[in-house]
Chain A
Amino acid sequence: MCLNVECQPSNKTTINYMNISIKPFKNFFLGCCLVLIIVNAFQLFQKLSPQHPIYFSGLKFSGLGEILEQESIIGYVSDLDLKEAGPLAEYEQAQYMLAPVVLDVMNPAHKFIIINPSNNTAALDKLKEFNARPLLRNQFGVILATTDQSFPDKNSKAENLQP
């Protein structure tokens, strides 16, 4: 009874394993591989066929970075629960979009604060709570506010904020 692959001295790949030639099994294995490649390719083709929309929450925070060029750390607050995947992803993507500025999450004790509210009422509540003044509000409702009352606001674009 041969259990060792070296039992066959010939150059052929026929291998005895308990007196059973393993070559058919090896061919079966390679056949399975080819089937898997075909199945994979078919699935891949199916997956690629539809035109997926590109969705990236980080785009929600575009247009807020200009004022922050000199800043290294600002606050990020939201009335959304950051323990949930969606709001957490928004925070992480905001961090990516505004890097190299560090977003200090849920800490309003900074000169500038990004407020990512669920609605206008929540935004106004946050501004009141932190005694902050909106400087800029982009088309997605994200607000850049300042707690520095002396900071000039002649370029403020946040006048349309209504509850």
Chain B
Amino acid sequence: MNYLISLFISSLLGFLGLNVLRSQTRIDPILHIIASIGLGLALSAQIIFYTLFIVGHYNPTALWIGHGIVFVILIAANFFVFKKDHASLFPKFPSDQIAWIGFGTLSLILIPLWRETHFYPFGGWDAWACWNLKAKFIFLGGDNWKNMLDPSMWRSNNQYPFLLPLMNVWGWNFYKNPSVTVPILNAILFTFLTASIMFWGLKRSIKDIRSIIPPLVFFTIPFVNTLSISQYSDIVLAFYLLGCFVCLIYAREEKSVPIAIISGLLCGAMSFTKTEGTLACLLISGLSVPFLLKRPNQSWPLFIGFLTAAILSAMPAILFQLFWATQNVSFTNGLTSVDHPATFVRLKVIVMFLIAELTSWKWNGLWFLLGGGLFLGWKKCFKNGLTIIPIFLSIYVTAAIAHYFINTHYEIVWWLGTTLNRILYAILPLIVWWVFTAILRHPDKK
């Protein structure tokens, strides 16, 4: 119940924020709800970040004042905008049978998630060694919370941004203790949100019930189920990454500035999830230049809307990098190191491991299926606005491989074995959505 209250408050702020955008153009009510929850939680987390920045420690009073100020501003903005435009204050929910059946079917994935969490209440290794540990430092540490950034805490990836820990702190604020319930429910929520945006993103294009197939294909894989409830930041990254691309492509197709702003907000929020999220945010921002400004679809308002929202939403990540980020002591430059050089053998191991990972049966043949889909929709995967996805994926994966190659601090087989599957897991929802969209949407769809 306490969690639901925290979720309601965050979602309400998200809803009111997006409602201001809705006055200009129609926003699909389903997207409105999904984005309200995702961005609302990010907003609550960012308010905690700013209280840490200003007050110096976690302070519930400052937190409530921050939420109160944002609430008043958003209510005033809604009042002002809707009084002027005479539009309906609340979005109308059309009777959409596909949506009802789709979300009804999708809710089935909650059953295994919910049941499995009972046997995995503390999550995976990085949940207690990194994400939830950071949340405990912020929630219980008082002025000493910054000890989590101490170089001696390098095992907890102290150079990582911490959006998920702040979301957990927001939930704990309602329990008055670091309850395991909050990280569990946040993991389930973001899994469901990712499945929902995947479904909605495809349904928008093909307008039929087959849109339910990709999220079911992905989230029913037992290994994916385990990763989803591991309370890692990867599922949070996966949601913002997918949401950002779905909205960016949607914004370009519809020439909708409000959707471009939503995309930018999701992109900026993603930058504070993980270092990979920061990289993805920078890449997408860079790729948005040709994507939104290239003729004949050139649209400066879309680009300005996207970029402004992304910068605004990425402020915590920027401030973190400027003031708090510690040096990554778990980095050894293999290109210059004599003791731990980056060798050709290392590169070969990385490539071999990647191939072994993609062909591993723990994914239940998903990569083979996606490979078949890519072959089937080869041309459509690279046109009509979808081109940005393979370009992004190519650069992102190349950057990941380069990082594995250059950073020789860790023994490579162990490092790949513990992290590569999670890097793939975070980008898989985007890949699944991309391939299915290319195959299923109408050839003439622009």
Contacts and interface: CB of A to CB of B under 8 A. Distances in A.
B376 A26 contact: yes
A147 interface: no
A86 interface: no
Contacts of B221: 40
Interface residues of B, number: 49
Contacts of B122: 56, 58, 96
A67 interface: no
A15 interface: yes
Given A92-B129, A96-B133, A100-B144, A40 B210 contact: no
A99 B220 contact: no
Nearest to A14: B443
B221 to A, nearest CB: 5
Interface string B337-371: 00000000000000000000000000011100100
Interface stretch (A1-9, A119-127, A136-144): A1-9
Given A26-B439, A73-B147, A102-B150, A44 B222 contact: yes
B369 A100 contact: no
Given A40-B364, A92-B129, A13 B442 contact: yes
B376 A43 contact: no
Nearest to A107: B152
B379 interface: yes
A40 B222 contact: yes
B56 interface: no
B117 to A, nearest CB: 11
Contacts of B225: 44, 47
Nearest to B139: A100
Nearest to B128: A96
A109 interface: no
Given A93-B128, A99-B136, A34 B213 contact: yes
B176 interface: no
B443 A15 contact: yes
Please report whether the interface of chain A is mostly helix, strand, loop or mixed according to DSSP: helix
Given A11-B442, A13-B442, A72-B147, A54 B121 contact: yes
B133 A95 contact: yes
A48 interface: yes
B273 interface: no
B400 interface: no
A72 B144 contact: yes
B137 interface: yes
Contact of A5 (B152, B214, B216, B380): B380
A161 interface: no
Contact of B210 (A30, A51, A104, A105): A30
Contact of A36 (B121, B147, B364): B364
B115 A96 contact: no
B29 interface: no
Contacts of B290: none
- Interface size, A (range): 35 or more
B128 A92 contact: yes
A60 to B, nearest CB: 13
Contacts of B150: 102
B253 interface: no
A22 B137 CA distance: 56
Contacts of A13: 442-443
Interface in A50-103: 51-54, 56, 58, 72-73, 89, 92-93, 95-96, 99-100, 102
B372 interface: yes
A47 B222 contact: yes
Contacts of A15: 443
Interface string B115-156: 110011110010011001100110011101101101011011
Contact of A92 (B125, B137, B142, B145): B125
Given A30-B210, A48-B115, A56-B122, A8 B144 contact: no
Contacts of A104: 152
A100 B125 contact: no
Given A6-B443, A13-B442, A92-B129, A48 B364 contact: no
Contact of B369 (A32, A52, A102): A32
Interface string A25-37: 1100110111011
B154 to A, nearest CB: 11
Nearest to B145: A100
Given A29-B439, A40-B220, A51-B119, A102 B147 contact: yes
Contacts of A58: 122, 128
A29 B373 contact: yes
B364 A99 contact: no
Interface of A: 3-6, 8, 11, 13, 15, 22, 25-26, 29-30, 32-34, 36-37, 39-41, 43-45, 47-48, 51-54, 56, 58, 72-73, 89, 92-93, 95-96, 99-100, 102, 104-105
Given A41-B220, A48-B115, 18 more contacts: A6-B443, A22-B376, A26-B376, A29-B369, A29-B439, A30-B213, A33-B213, A33-B214, A37-B217, A40-B364, A54-B120, A96-B132, A99-B133, A100-B136, A100-B137, A100-B144, A102-B147, A105-B152
19 contacts: A13-B443, A29-B369, A29-B439, A32-B369, A32-B372, A33-B213, A33-B214, A33-B369, A36-B369, A43-B364, A45-B112, A48-B112, A56-B121, A58-B128, A95-B133, A95-B156, A96-B133, A100-B140, A100-B142
